[in-house]
Amino acid sequence: MIWATLFLIVGLLLLWRGADFLVGGAVGLAERMGVSQLVAGLTIVAMGTSAPEVAAAVAAGLAGKGDIAIGNIYGSNIANLAMIGGIVALIRPLEVRAATLRREIPAMLGATLLLWPVVANLTVSRIDAVVLLSIFTILVAYTVRTARTAEMEGRVEELHAAVEPPRTVSRDVLSIAIGLVGLSVGAKAAVTGAVAIGSRIGLSDAVIGSTIIAVGTSLPELVTCVVAAVKGHHDISVGNLVGSNIFNVLFVTGIAGLVRPFRVTARFAGGADFWILVGVSVLFASAALVGGHTIRRRGGVVLLAVYVAYLVYLLQSAGPA
């Protein structure tokens, strides 16, 4: 338990510093490339902070623990929107662009609903994996292209008038690389410590994947979004949350299934867990709409309350593997 606690503390420290480097580098690179922070959040930041989910899902799939692999994806996505979205909104009301509500959030909802037919037969096959990865590639290319085009059309004069950032491209890239390494190592250390504690409790694979591992692998998103919120980079936060969820559903599930097909239990195939994920996704979008394209502190409280209720449901459903 002492070593587990040390791993957890060191992991959290690495996560915080890694997020600081990642946000700084991503913002600087976005300015130099003439793209919005939203695009940076949807791509560089989202994929970087979701690296732990990839590692955890692949490892679980190879070990024949499909419930941990898919539970990690479900739990991470719910944690991203309800827990992290709620915390960030409490720190500073989270602004969500109208274009994001029209484009990226519906794409996230569509990707989430796509999981239903994929896992309906309780198996993620290699064919399923190829389909998910193909959709992911097309969706990201389209989203980035349309978001970048819209941003450029609306800010041409602003971009030409912008002051050249004092940082160099190489420094921004190095900052991003250091941030990603810090997040990856920090997440692994934190998850190792948390899982060591959780294994002593005797929870089922489904609950371990949806709670300890899900929250652990979501720590990069949490710390990155908090750092971005404190600095006022709303688009980084929103792009990270929405982009990470799309990445988790399509890419993480696809990669895990491609490496080794895995089976899941019925609770993840159209059961309560699936509809909780869908409901939280809708709630996140609704909170932004009700708040006038801003998730205000009241909305943050609601999101956090829903996440607490979700944890209670998971613990009540806990049982031996």
d(CA 104, CA 240): 11
The whole-number pLDDT of residue 276 equals: 94
Phi, psi dihedral angles at 159 (to 5 degrees): -65, -40
Q: Among 64-68, 74-78, 168-172, 234-238, which range has the highest average pLDDT?
A: 74-78
Within 10 angstroms of residue 179's Cβ, the number of other Cβ atoms is 27
Percent helix, percent strand, percent coil in the chain, to nearest 5: 85, 0, 15
Tell me the β-bridge partners of 263: 123
Where are any strands of DSSP class E within the chain? 94-95, 123-124, 262-263, 294-295
Rounded to whole angstroms, how far apart are CA atoms 77 and 84?
Answer: 10
Mean pLDDT, residues 218-229: 78
> Any residues with CB less than 8 A from the CB of 152 and at least 6 apart, and which?
34, 35, 159
DSSP assigned state of 168: -
What is the per-residue pLDDT for 97?
84
Q: Fill in the amino acid letter for 194.
A: A
- 162's CB contacts (< 8 A; 6+ apart) are 31
Per-residue confidence (pLDDT) for residue 296, from 0 to 100: 92
**Mean pLDDT (whole number) for 93-112:** 88
> Using one digit for the tens of pLDDT, what is the confidence trace for 247-278?
889 999 998 899 899 888 888 888 888 999 99
Q: What does the domain layout of the chain look like in residue ranges?
A: 2-316
* Residue 314 or 204, more confident: 314
| Contact of 130 with 271, CB cutoff 8 Å | no
> pLDDT, tens digit, for every residue of 41-52?
666 666 666 666
Q: What is the enclosing helix (H) or strand (E) of 255?
A: helix 253-259
Query: Worst-scoring range by mean pLDDT, 97-106, 190-199, 233-242?
Result: 190-199
Taking the C-alpha atoms of residue 71 and residue 272, their distance in angstroms, rounded to an integer, is 12
% of the chain surpassing 70 pLDDT = 70
Q: Does domain 2-316 have CATH number 1.20.1420.30?
A: yes
Mean local confidence (pLDDT), 101-118: 90
pLDDT band of 20, cuts 50, 70, 90: low
Are β-strands 94-95 and 262-263 bridged in parallel, bridged antiparallel, or unpaired? Answer: unpaired
